[in-house]
Chain A
Amino acid sequence: MKKILAIALVALCAVGFAFANGASESTQNVSTDGSTSMEAVIGSLAEAFMIEHPEITVTYNPTGSGSGITAVQEGRCDIGLSSRALHDDEKAAGLTETVLALDGIAIIVNNSNPVTDLTLEQIADIYTGKIINWSEVGGNDGAIVLIGREAGSGTRDGFESITGTEDLCQYRQELTSTGDVITTVSTNPNAIGYASLSAVSDSTKTLAVNGVLPSEETVLSGEYLVQRPFVMATRSGEALSDAAQMFYDYALSSEAAPIIAGAGAVPLN
């Protein structure tokens, strides 16, 4: 009986300590809200930032670019995240955009595919099913196999909005990760897929779009077309809280550049 009592006491103490540690000093909060595509970038930035500033908590609410912009307009978050440039009316409504990074999307085919270059229109036609055979774009005879990402994926959203193929793509496969897309394209001679620029490797062939191969330079210069900006939206003429300003400055600093690159985007600074 004594033993059981002792165990119970020890357990009680352990629980007590756990709670005591949880409810420590109050913390400052930076809230971000918006684009799901920016999850990796903001996630790794926030993680690195919170290691340097343990007294500040950065939260991220993945709701989509549109909701993030609305949220910052209505003052429900400190920084809105958008994976498209702000529209003029949104800027007129009192928002300032700061481009944090650029996101290049590579179009990949199997290494055995002789095609090296497609125009943006050809890519759109291929994904909407108007072009169905590789011979129509200068390749071998073979039905084109369209590989894409699942609904809700940021890469899919980016690709479809740049090529203007929203809700029109006739996918043969919808895979749930960049790695799966690359593996599938590398094993099927007639496949075409898209993946974040940072993730592609030698196992597949990256196509030039309108004659420009994607690279950090061509994405930065804007010559490579399948790209979009990652934007931080803030309320014009209204100062950020100290903590939010610190995070904002940190995200744009040269210190953050390798972290952004590590998360798959092209940093501007």
Chain B
Amino acid sequence: MNIKKAKEDAIHFIFLILGLIAVGSVLVITIYLVISGLPAIREIGLADFLFGRRWASTAAEPEYGILPFILTSIYGTAGAIVIGVPIGFFAAVYLAKMAPRKVCRVMELCIGVLAGIPSVVYGLVGMLILIPAIMNIFNVPDGASLLAAIIVLAVMILPSVINVSLTSLQAVPREYEEASLALGATSTETYFKVTVPAAKSGIFTAIVLGIGRAIGEAMAVMMVAGNVANMPSLFQSVRFLTTAVASEMSYSSGLQRQALFSIALVLFFFIMLINATLLLIKKRSQEQ
């Protein structure tokens, strides 16, 4: 009997350790980021760092202002949400309620593939097709711009937006819809006035997940956005928070390197904010 209990305890212990690996990783990353990100902020000054408009890390008189990166990340993410969420959301409504079984199966397969494509491939396709296209359509000298990044990000967030919205739409009890139909509403009225409001929290979750994915993407964006530290404008070359860290890290040294960690810390703060929002949405929907 005792041996059995010891075995149980040992297994519990092993699983506890495995669980702690995840928690430990988060803790280590957080602590490391804070420790390595704070010195540069202290040296540059928080206001100069966050609201400085000029980034020139290797100039003779270096300047470390990351306002262009912050604004670019916000605009870029917002743009991707504005384009990607309606497409993803309506696709999810179609798949959940209107699509024939076969179409549904093919489309779900495609969305799965879309989710699995590595971001460097998105970047490459953007670089070779999207950038020349923007150049020709809008008649600008170069297509690498905030717009190109927004379009790439919009496509990249589609799978998560569609999948999460789809799950929440499918979870709406059938009786709600039947009641609505029985009262004489058309099926379109039913979907938008009954099903969608009932799936509201899931759809919000989808949007927040999309924001998280868009703000954290580096590789694809680095290949299409041009990476010059300009203040954001639709057809200008811009640099995101993520790409600011990724593009300079390999050769950086001294204060420049520390400042890159500080940028990562700012990005981390944004991600935490997004996660907190997500938790809040979940909590609210459980209370209802």
Bound pair: A and B? yes
B226 near A1 (CB under 8 angstroms)? no
**Per-position binary interface string of chain B over residues 232-274, scored 1 when its CB falls under 8 Å from any chain A CB and 0 otherwise:** 0000010100000011101111001000000000000000000
Query: Within 8 Å of chain A (Cβ to Cβ): is B100?
Result: no
**Per-position binary interface string of chain A over residues 148-178, scored 1 when its CB falls under 8 Å from any chain B CB and 0 otherwise:** 0011111001000000001100011111100
Distance (whole angstroms) from the CB of B88 to the closest CB of chain A: 29
Distance (whole angstroms) from the CB of A82 to the closest CB of chain B: 16
Distance (whole angstroms) from the CB of A35 to the closest CB of chain B: 11
Give the CA-CA distance A145 to B132 in the complex, in Å: 13
B251 near A154 (CB under 8 angstroms)? yes
Q: Given that A63-B253, A180-B223, A187-B131 are known contacts, is A151 also in contact with B57, CB under 8 Å in the complex?
A: yes
A187 near B132 (CB under 8 angstroms)? yes
Most chain B Cβ neighbours within 10 Å, of A36, A173, A180: A173
Give the CA-CA distance A64 to B257 in the complex, in Å: 14
Q: Given that A150-B247, A173-B144, A174-B247 are known contacts, is A184 also in contact with B127, CB under 8 Å in the complex?
A: yes
B251 near A167 (CB under 8 angstroms)? no
Q: Per a CB cutoff under 8 Å, which of B3, B6, B128, B227 touches A150?
A: B227
B237 near A172 (CB under 8 angstroms)? yes
Query: Within 8 Å of chain A (Cβ to Cβ): is B7?
Result: yes
Distance (whole angstroms) from the CB of A194 to the closest CB of chain B: 16
Which of B1-15 touch A at CB < 8 Å? 3, 6-7, 10
A174 near B141 (CB under 8 angstroms)? no
Q: Given that A142-B141, A173-B237, A175-B227 are known contacts, is A1 also in contact with B3, CB under 8 Å in the complex?
A: yes
Which of A4-37 touch B at CB < 8 Å? 4, 36
Contacts of B227 in A (CB 8 A): 150, 173-176
Q: Bin the interface of chain A by size.
A: 20 to 34
Query: Within 8 Å of chain A (Cβ to Cβ): is B23?
Result: no
A172 near B250 (CB under 8 angstroms)? no
A145 near B131 (CB under 8 angstroms)? no
Query: Within 8 Å of chain B (Cβ to Cβ): is A188?
Result: yes
Give the CA-CA distance A109 to B256 in the complex, in Å: 31
Contacts of B228 in A (CB 8 A): 171-174
A151 near B58 (CB under 8 angstroms)? yes
Give the CA-CA distance A144 to B227 in the complex, in Å: 17
Query: Within 8 Å of chain B (Cβ to Cβ): is A62?
Result: yes
Query: Within 8 Å of chain A (Cβ to Cβ): is B60?
Result: yes
Q: Given that A151-B57, A167-B56, A188-B135 are known contacts, is A145 also in contact with B142, CB under 8 Å in the complex?
A: yes
Q: Given that A173-B144, A173-B237, A174-B227 are known contacts, is A36 also in contact with B6, CB under 8 Å in the complex?
A: no
Query: Within 8 Å of chain B (Cβ to Cβ): is A199?
Result: no
Q: Given that A145-B141, A172-B141, A172-B226 are known contacts, is A152 also in contact with B131, CB under 8 Å in the complex?
A: no
Q: Per a CB cutoff under 8 Å, which of A64, A144, A184 touches B253?
A: A64
Contacts of B128 in A (CB 8 A): 183, 187
Query: Within 8 Å of chain B (Cβ to Cβ): is A191?
Result: yes
Query: Within 8 Å of chain B (Cβ to Cβ): is A93?
Result: no
Query: Within 8 Å of chain A (Cβ to Cβ): is B59?
Result: yes
Q: Per a CB cutoff under 8 Å, which of A1, A152, A184, A188 touches B7?
A: A1
Give the CA-CA distance A167 to B6 in the complex, in Å: 68
Query: Within 8 Å of chain A (Cβ to Cβ): is B206?
Result: no
Contacts of B56 in A (CB 8 A): 151, 167
Give the CA-CA distance A64 to B247 in the complex, in Å: 18
A174 near B226 (CB under 8 angstroms)? yes
Contacts of B143 in A (CB 8 A): 188
Contacts of A175 in B (CB 8 A): 227
A4 near B248 (CB under 8 angstroms)? no
Query: Within 8 Å of chain B (Cβ to Cβ): is A143?
Result: yes
Query: Within 8 Å of chain B (Cβ to Cβ): is A190?
Result: yes
Contacts of B144 in A (CB 8 A): 172-173, 184
Give the CA-CA distance A184 to B144 in the complex, in Å: 9
A4 near B132 (CB under 8 angstroms)? no
**Chain A: CB-nearest residue to B58:** A151
Distance (whole angstroms) from the CB of A39 to the closest CB of chain B: 8
**Chain B: CB-nearest residue to A148:** B228
What are the 8 tightest A-B residue pairs by CB atom distance, in nearest-first order?
Answer: A152-B251, A143-B141, A173-B226, A151-B58, A174-B227, A167-B59, A145-B142, A150-B247
18 intermolecular pairs with C-beta atoms under 8 Å apart: A62-B251, A62-B253, A142-B141, A143-B141, A150-B227, A150-B248, A151-B256, A172-B142, A174-B227, A175-B227, A176-B222, A176-B250, A180-B223, A183-B128, A184-B127, A184-B131, A188-B143, A190-B141
Binding site for A on B (CB under 8 A): 3, 6-7, 10, 56-60, 127-128, 131-132, 135, 141-144, 222-223, 226-228, 237, 239, 246-248, 250-253, 256
Excluding A1-B3, A176-B247, A180-B223, 7 further A-B contacts by CB distance (< 8 Å) are A64-B253, A150-B248, A151-B57, A152-B252, A173-B227, A174-B227, A187-B131
